[in-house]
Homo-oligomer: A and B are copies of this chain.
Amino acid sequence: MKNKIAIFPGTFDPFTLGHHDIVLRGLKIFDTIHIAIGNNPEKERYFDVELIKNKVKKLYKNENKINIILYNELTAEISKKLNANFILRGLRNTTDFEFENSISQINKDINKDLETIFLITSPKLAPISSTIIRDVIKYGGDINKYLPFKIN
Q: Which of B25, B98, B117 sits near A94, CB closer than 8 Å?
A: B98
In the complex, the count of this chain's copies comes to: 6
Q: How far is the CB of A34 from chain B (nearest CB, A)?
A: 17
Residues of B near A126 (CB, < 8 A) are: 102, 123
User: At the interface, yes or no: A46 with Cβ under 8 Å from chain B?
Assistant: no
Contact B115 A118 (CB under 8 A): no
User: At the interface, yes or no: A150 with Cβ under 8 Å from chain B?
Assistant: no
Contact A136 B110 (CB under 8 A): yes
Main secondary structure of the interface of A (DSSP, over half): mixed
Q: How far is the CB of A77 from chain B (nearest CB, A)?
A: 7
Contact A139 B31 (CB under 8 A): no
Which single residue of chain B is at the shortest CB-CB distance from A101? B120
Contact A101 B127 (CB under 8 A): yes
User: At the interface, yes or no: A116 with Cβ under 8 Å from chain B?
Assistant: yes
Contact A119 B115 (CB under 8 A): yes
Which single residue of chain B is at the shortest CB-CB distance from A133? B106
Restricting to A4-20, which residues have a CB under 8 Å from any CB of B?
4
Contact A101 B110 (CB under 8 A): no
User: At the interface, yes or no: A129 with Cβ under 8 Å from chain B?
Assistant: yes
Can you identify 8 A-B contacts, CB atoms within 8 angstroms? Answer: A74-B136, A94-B94, A95-B98, A97-B97, A100-B120, A106-B132, A116-B119, A117-B117
Seed contacts A77-B139, A102-B126; 13 additional CB < 8 Å A-B pairs: A28-B85, A28-B86, A28-B115, A29-B115, A92-B102, A94-B97, A102-B128, A104-B127, A105-B123, A106-B136, A109-B127, A117-B117, A118-B118
